[in-house]
Structures are given as structure tokens and as C-alpha cells.
Amino acid sequence: MKVAIISTYWKNSPGGGVKTYLTNLVDLLNSKEKVKVNVIYMEGYDPNNPNNYKINGNCLLFSIRSFLKLRKINPQCI
């Protein structure tokens, strides 16, 4: 199953509890055999995972670019 998570904060960002919760959620889902998780985020960086995408720009551009990235990823669950 392909899962996409959209968030403002991701690894190496000042996200606090949101960042910690999402990181743990993604780690748990990735531990499942048939689940592939993609994260689309605005702040932070994750150089070790090519399945995660940083989207630059203001909130409007983030929404539009995230939508376009979701069309390419084609997840079963968002």
C-alpha cells in the first residue's frame, strides 16, 4: 500500500511534538512489509530518504506543489 503524509514539519525542523509524532508514525508504517510511505513537507530536511519530498514556497505554493507531487506518487491513502 502506498501512503502519503503531508506536513509542515519534518526531521531537522523546529516542529516539536508534531515532528516527533510524525517521525514515529512513519517509522512504524515503514516497518510493515507491504507499506511504502512518502512524506511531503515544508520545513526540515531528510537527505537519507529519497521517498520524502521537500516543497519550497509559501502556503499557497506548498498546496499546489503538494497536489502535483501527489498526482505523481499516486498514493492509495493520504
Tally of domains in the chain: 1
Please state the rounded mean pLDDT for residues 35-58: 92
* Structural domain that includes position 67: 2-73
Residue 78 lies in a domain: no
Structural domain contains residue 14? yes
* Residue 68 maps to a domain: yes
Exposed, middle or buried: residue 25 (CB in 10 Å: 0-12, 13-18, 19+)? middle
Does 18 fall in a domain? yes
Tens-place pLDDT, residues 20-37: 999 999 999 999 999 999
pLDDT of residue 49: 85
Give domain status of residue 66, yes or no: yes
Beta strands in the chain (DSSP E): 2-9, 36-43, 52-54
Q: What is the mean pLDDT of the chain?
A: 93
Going by pLDDT thresholds of 50, 70 and 90, the confidence category of residue 50 is confident
> pLDDT band for position 16 (50/70/90)?
confident
